Structure 1
């Protein structure tokens, strides 16, 4: 992500309350079954997968930031989203390296790289090596694991010094 992409995203995150990887909004003793919908709980806490082409964000094209539906941590910028044809929201880059952790998943009998929110440990989806340039990665994410904040929803405008290319 270029600095030109990062500054507007940082403004949005700071202004709307979407947390960063360094400041998760996790409280001890959360009852996830009360906080999440049944589908969010199945995906985020039980490592489920929604059927392709059914989630609210697979064909979503608004400008903004996708956050973890469990804790609000910022995960993906809409400018890094693309149509992979898979039926799930797909991104070629994460917002910040520290926002997501990975582990190896053998549930289908072969190794896959599972993606977890680093703040709440919620299951997001998987990453594959068949994405577009510049990363060649496809972060394949369940819509139910995401919340969306439109870029124009920012209520506070911060003055950043001009950044030279």
Structure 2
């Protein structure tokens, strides 16, 4: 948890390096960011889902380099490179959180814009998507000042959808 908080703090500091006089911290993804968010409330008797098993070690290493192997809990998993603070975070919502495979009207991460295949892009390199009737998100961070991680996140969404 300390590493995750350090990564979020580092990202917040780095996001202030832009030209704006009012730096905006990127909202973190994963379990801590979604506490109390209605879209993540348990909807039923879901069997436990090991989110850390949804991506293979080599798939994550290809994106962020050497990492901690993934740390999970509460429907999420975060892989972090402790030297670069690059990370991948995946959160899989409970059944019933995206009825009919549709994302809720409101995002947990502020304003969004549409992406391919029912995906929507949110602030902080977050990509929201549905898997069956589960509301999910992924955050890929190798850059906090650009949208360069979007194609990678979209590719990982496809892998995750095939594996849930």
TM range, smaller chain: under 0.3
Q: Which one scores higher on RCO, CA 8 angstroms, separation ≥ 6?
A: 1
TM-score normalised to structure 1 length: 0.28
Greater gyration radius: 1
Q: Greater share of helix residues, 1 or 2?
A: 2
Q: TM-score, normalised by structure 2?
A: 0.28
